[in-house]
Amino acid sequence: MSDEIILVPSGNGLGHARRLVAIYNQFQLMNIRTTILLSEKQNRLCSNEILNSKAGEVLISNFKMGLDGPFTDCTSSPPNAILLNRISAAKVILSDNVLWPTTFNDNVFLHGHFSWIDYWTISPEVAPVDLQLEQTDSQLSKLRGWFRTDFFGFPTTRITAPQFPMPLIRYSNDEKFSKYERKWDEIWVSVGTTGDPQFSRPNLLENLLGRYKFKNLETFKFHSKRTLPGMIIGRPGVGTLRDCLASNTLFLSIFEESQDPELQNNWTVMKNSGLTCSILDGSIEKAKDKSDKYKQLWPIISAPIDEYVSRMLSVISEVGN
């Protein structure tokens, strides 16, 4: 067994990778030998946030996407065989939130606010393949634990491994938000990495909010823009919601119903907490009052990355031995 920690994000959506990149960077500052496995797209979009050091390594995956991991035929190529050997030998695998590493390593910890097995079980749009569910159920029993985001966590889960409630991550550059100019007449429209137009509906937005300036929000470009809008409208992914909460930027949506159980859960949590509403519900001016709650709530539901990682390593040390 090596002393290496390997971070494996799901390839479906960028939030999985971005969370692990923040953890990867903190491991580098602590001089912990770490490798993170990213897709080409994840690496390209996260490249400006990845800290380079001698203790870390970024590997680009060419795995096919079935169970969000390799099919057996992927292991035949030398690069994949080498990677899977490293995964087998690693001291710890931290996965957000795929289960396939449990096939190769007995010390796998899940990370995130939901699992794909729960997603498949709940979603009316996804017809689970029996083989996938059978494989996943066998992998579930091998998990050592789950670092589960408390605030946006799914209400129920099939995972029986020990769960460790975690806050949202406060990134090191979040403190810069207070220095950014707030452009109250701007609305940023976010459809996430899915690019799904149902969360923007530009014609409807212009009819309802014609006096505002609309700009498309490129994937998690909050920090690089050096300004903040009056509000964000769009897809309620956890990455976008985290940035809204951290920057005290009101999130609204035309989102009412979705077949996507993760987005439905995120939207329900925000709405039940009095943190958002649909712009179809009433006055946009009244909705602005909700952003005051962000500033009060954010310190309670989040933690600085160094504190977050220290808590995680303490659990891994206790449970993994």
What pLDDT does 290 receive? 67
What pLDDT does 184 receive? 82
- Look at 46-50, 232-236, 257-261 and tell me which has the smallest mean pLDDT: 257-261
- Report the sign of the C-alpha dihedral through residues 135, 141, 145, 149, in that order: positive
Give me the domains of the chain, ranges plus CATH numbers.
Answer: 5-166 (3.40.50), 172-302 (3.40.50)
SS3 category, 6: strand
What pLDDT does 300 receive? 96
Residue 68 phi/psi, 5-degree rounding, is 60, 40
Supply the mean pLDDT for the chain. 81
Q: Within 10 Å of residue 270's Cβ, how many Cβ atoms?
A: 23
Does position 66 have pLDDT exceeding 50, yes or no?
no
What pLDDT does 279 receive? 67
73 falls in which pLDDT band (50, 70, 90)?
Answer: very low
Joined tokens for residue 188: 């940023």
Q: How far apart are the first and last CA of the chain?
A: 13
What pLDDT does 72 receive? 40
Give me the half-sphere count of Cα atoms (radius 13 Å) on the Cβ side of residue 233. 31
